[in-house]
Structure 1
Amino acid sequence: MIKLLLTLAALSLLPLSAAAQSSRSWNFRVALNDEPIGTQRFTLTPQGDQRELRSEASFDVKVLFINAYRYRHEATERWQGDCLRSIASRTDDDGKLISVKSQREGDKLQVTATKASETLEGCVMTFAYWNPAILRQTKLLNPQTGEYEKVSFALVGEESIEVRGQATKAKRYRLSGPERPIDLWYGADGDWLALQSTVAGGRRLTYKLE
């Protein structure tokens, strides 16, 4: 259910120029049909001419006070500019364990996942919603599954959304290509502000900044 959205693993909330200046962390409150199910935390740290992005997610979906779905995800990514240098992720998707590793050698990125491996050429990006450069991409690497997925982005329009209790002007984009479309909101300065999608059973999954 959450698989498609935990392509979020490569996240920070800053444009590239700002992110390179100092370490920052963000917390998202995650809800399913407006019911809290957990959090996802992202921390971006400059390291010389590269950046390290760590993400941690913990979701529990309860039905009649019984835990019906459990999700845990950890990922560490290293970036140079807008290009992925390496990734190491581990996911427990309700008991199904998945791992992904990648390492760049020259202009090639070797990706090894639990069930398959692939060599990708050129500059590769994950579903790095923190970096508005993804809006120009036609393929993105899923850090949970290791799949290199075809994608497209379209501007839906401009609107006002609530961010940390304040009305904020934002541009809304729609990501198509994964199993279900994902809507993303960006501020005037390029900051990623929110996410929404529809998951199994027609339920609405939302990410809001705390």
Structure 2
Amino acid sequence: MLLRRALFGLALLPLLDDRALAAPADLAFKVIREGREVGTHRVTFRDDGGLLRARSQVRIAITLAGFTVFRYSHETEEAWQGERLVGLASRLDRNGRQSGCEVRAEGDGLRLRGSAGDVLLPAAAAPLTWWRAASFAPGVPLFDPREGRPVEPRLERRPEAGGQRVTLVGGEGAVILYDGRGAWVGFETTGEDGSAIRYARG
């Protein structure tokens, strides 16, 4: 219900005076754990009368001897007006444990309400949803949409293969790859059990 109410609220956000953004191409990844495909991560985009809406869906299931021993489902919908996030709804189900958050533009900031509490973020804040390279520019405040928690990872950026490699140091850690146009093309992290996780296009 949290996500349903939040998505309904996103549909009612007022349009601000700004140019409409062309929706990026949809993204689809296979989630590979220790060389074996265990799930998918998809991001779809649409231009909604000047709002860019991005919907991310992560589905992971790990089986052992025919039994599912780990299940992970995360859905996030973002609404962007130009370079500003104006709304977000997120819901995570991790082995039956649910968490999430909602974000709304509020004055000169973003009101974040989630499982981790209620906080007013700077207007420039962005979620860790990976697809948007500009979110990892210097000085951008970040938050984890899984529980609605502000985070301050150390970021390392360097050119790679004509694009950019962004490394998040601290916490779970991650490597995010973007091509020369800024499109998200790769992802690597370490699972809670120490397993190597990577994304493959497709």
Which deviates more from structure 2 when the two are superposed, residues 66-75 or residues 180-189? 180-189
1:155 to 2:168 alignment? no
1:203 to 2:195 alignment? yes
Query: Does the Cα contact within 8 Å between 1:30 and 1:40 map onto a contact in 2?
Result: yes
- What one-letter code is carried by the residue in structure 2 that aligns with 1:188? G
- What one-letter code is carried by the residue in structure 2 that aligns with 1:200? E
Computed over aligned residues only, the root mean square deviation of the Cα atoms, in angstroms, reads: 2.0
* Unmatched segments (≥5 aa) in structure 1: 1-18, 160-168
Q: Counterparts in 2 of 1:29-68, with a 5 A limit?
A: 29-68=30-69
Q: Which has the higher contact order (CA 8 A, sep 6+)?
A: 1
Structure-2 change in CA distance of 1:149 and 1:66 (3 Å):
same
* Unmatched segments (≥5 aa) in structure 2: 1-19
1:54 alignment partner, SS class: strand
Match of 1:181 in 2: 173
1:134 alignment partner, SS class: helix
- What one-letter code is carried by the residue in structure 1 that aligns with 2:191? V
Structure-2 change in CA distance of 1:82 and 1:22 (3 Å):
closer
1:82 to 2:74 alignment? no
1:102 alignment partner, SS class: strand
Deviation string, structure 1 residues 64-85 (Cα, Å, up to 9, x no partner): 2211100111111111122211
Q: Counterparts in 2 of 1:21-170, with a 5 A limit?
A: 21-22=22-23, 24-138=25-139, 139-156=141-158, 158-159=160-161, 170=163
* TM-score, normalisation: structure 2: 0.82
Q: What is the CA distance between 1:144 and its match in structure 2?
A: 1.0
Match of 1:172 in 2: 165
Query: In structure 2, how many angstroms separate the alpha carbons of the residues matched to 1:170 and 1:103?
Result: 32
Deviation string, structure 1 residues 15-39 (Cα, Å, up to 9, x no partner): xxxx922463221101111111111
* TM-score, normalisation: structure 1: 0.79
Query: In structure 2, how many angstroms separate the alpha carbons of the residues matched to 1:84 and 1:100?
Result: 14
Query: In structure 2, how many angstroms separate the alpha carbons of the residues matched to 1:190 and 1:32?
Result: 25
Query: Does the Cα contact within 8 Å between 2:163 and 2:181 map onto a contact in 1?
Result: no
Query: In structure 2, how many angstroms separate the alpha carbons of the residues matched to 1:132 and 1:26?
Result: 14
Deviation string, structure 1 residues 102-150 (Cα, Å, up to 9, x no partner): 1112212111112411111332111142222123144311111100100
